[in-house]
Structure formats: structure tokens, C-alpha cells
Amino acid sequence: MSDLLTSDDITHHISGHRINENLFEVVSLSVLRYLVAVHTSSIAKAATQANAFITLYGSDGDTGRRPLSDSQTSDAPFKKGQVDVFIVEAVHLGKLEKVILEHDGTEPGMLNPRGIFLFVYL
């Protein structure tokens, strides 16, 4: 016999019992748009055509690994000396603490950012 309860089991169990409504809280997590600007370095082999990813870490959680595939400023992101802007949608992460930028190595070159700039807007 399974120890898992279905929603019908729970409804049956609590029907007829007065439930303190303060025990339950509906949490609505608002989605923010994090504007990520990546300035690729101008050094040799700084550019890449590989699939790039970013993970944002904050005091209240992280985004998980997100693709950076839809540059708002260029049809061909991560070219030498270029600034690319991406929008990453995620719940509020709290105070931003760390950023990991990576690529999958499917194309030659290295993703060598000169700078990563983050802005949050609603």
C-alpha cells in the first residue's frame, strides 16, 4: 500500500473539521526581469559561437542554468569586443551574490567576458 495521499484523500480527511485559515498562506512570487549585459573581451579567441548559459545566485535562491540565446542587441552574440544584452526572467532572488557564465564547448573559442552587468526591472 502506498503512503502517498491524493487530493481526494486530503479533502476527505479534512471535511467536517474546522481549519484555521491562518495555517495556510498563498504565496505569490512575482517574476522579475533581470537585464544581463555581457561585454565580450577583445583579446584573441575571446569570442564563441557555442551555446552560453548563466546562473544567477542570490540570498533567496538561484535561477538555475538559463540559456543566453536571444540577444536583444545582436543576431550573433559573444563576438570579440561586443556587448550583448539578454533578459532573464526569474523570481526575486534577494541580494545578488554570484553569477556563473559558461558555455557547452560545442564551438571553438572561449567565452571570455570583459564584464557582466546586471540590472533588475519590473
What does the alpha-carbon distance between residue 3 and residue 52 come to, in Å, rounded to a whole number? 42
Q: Is 100 helix (H, G, I), strand (E, B) or coil?
A: strand
pLDDT of residue 67: 95
Quote the pTM value: 0.69
Q: What is the pLDDT of residues 8-66, one digit of tens each?
A: 544 544 445 444 555 555 555 788 888 888 888 888 877 888 889 999 999 999 999 99
Q: Which of 39-43, 95-99, 114-118 is the most confident on average?
A: 95-99
d(CA 83, CA 66): 19
31-40 and 83-91 beta bridge pairing: antiparallel
